[in-house]
Amino acid sequence: MAPLTWFITGGSAGLGLALAKAALSKGDKVIVTSRSANKLSAIAAEGAIPVALDINGSAEAIDAVILDVIEKYGQIDVLVNNAGYGEMGTFEEIELSAIEQQFQTNFYGPVKVMKAFLPHMRSKRSGLVLNIGSVSAALPSPSMGIYGASKAALRRVSLSIDAEVKQFGVRVLVVEPGAFRTSITDDYYSSAFKLPAKYKDYDALRVEAEKLVAHLANAKGNPAVFGEILTNLAHHEKEFKEELPSILSLGINCYSIKQHILNNQLKELETFKEVSISTDTL
């Protein structure tokens, strides 16, 4: 298959870096972004094209960067919205400003990038968007509600956009990883990491959240395998020759968590079936 051109946000570390390396190993052209191009020197030395892009910037600023990229490098085949972070803490203890910033980065950032790229892909009648979500979008976990909500919003809009643009040969898919061990998780979930602690009533939940942090810091997910799977998907190879998933769940914990949640939802749906169907009486 012919080489692809990728545009990966948040490509300086973590899963974004792993994906960039995997795409380069396929012989693809890879454009990677970070707020500072200086953070991209290592992957640039391996052949990637570094671009400074702040997804929290204005739509106009993002449009200008992306237009310049398209003019310089031509058709972008694969857009990966990977840049993001996780805000943890109970709802009452997280500041409103932190909630707004979480959505600004994890939801509005990808939305602005898609707004800039989709006209280009639609005009070419070809393109793939991979929005990196999280198992937290499906998991009602204490202290992860704000992060999960931002990823759930990204999931929902992605599925709707996919239904709109599929007719033009463009796909918008969601990738929802479980726990993966990267340099980002090592730094973020270090011993210095502290959850907001305003109310003693939430002490027990805070302890549980700290256990989750410890689990994430020792995750078994392999970023290199993550990158290999997504490059296979983009090239329609191996498991993806015949069909692409709307939502791709990656990681044993992600699979088992979603299976448990879906089974419980089906059970609850059946329990209250008579109530649910009792409203249609007109």
Q: pLDDT tens, 146-203?
A: 999 999 999 999 999 999 999 999 999 999 998 887 765 656 555 556 788 999 999 9
pLDDT band, very low/low/confident/very high, at 263 (cuts 50, 70, 90): very high
pLDDT, one tens digit per residue, over 2-55 is 899 999 999 999 999 999 999 999 999 999 999 998 999 999 999 999 999 999
Active site residues: 147
Q: Does domain 5-277 have CATH number 1.10.260.40?
A: no
Residues 222-256, buried b or exposed e (16+ Cβ, 10 A)?
ebeebbbbbbbbbbeeeebeeeeeebbbbbebbee
pLDDT score for 187: 61
Structure confidence at residue 166 (pLDDT) = 98
pLDDT digits (tens, 9 = 90+) for 195-253: 889 999 999 999 888 887 777 777 889 999 999 999 999 999 889 998 999 999 999 88
Q: What is the mean pLDDT of residues 115-129?
A: 98
C-alpha torsion angle, residues 192, 148, 248, 119 (rounded to 10): -110
Nearest to 74 by CA among 121, 25, 10: 121
Q: Could you give the C-alpha distances from 85 to 33, 104, 132, 182, 192, in angstroms and in order?
A: 15, 11, 11, 13, 17
Give yes or no for a contact between 132 and 150, defined as CB atoms under 8 angstroms apart: no
Q: How far is CA 152 from the centre of its chain?
A: 10
User: Which of 58-62, 85-89, 186-190 comes out lowest in average pLDDT?
Assistant: 186-190
Q: 216 and 185 in contact (C-beta within 8 Å)?
A: yes
pLDDT of residue 191: 52
What's the pTM value of the predicted model, to 2 decimals?
0.94
Break the chain into its structural domains and give their ranges.
Answer: 5-277
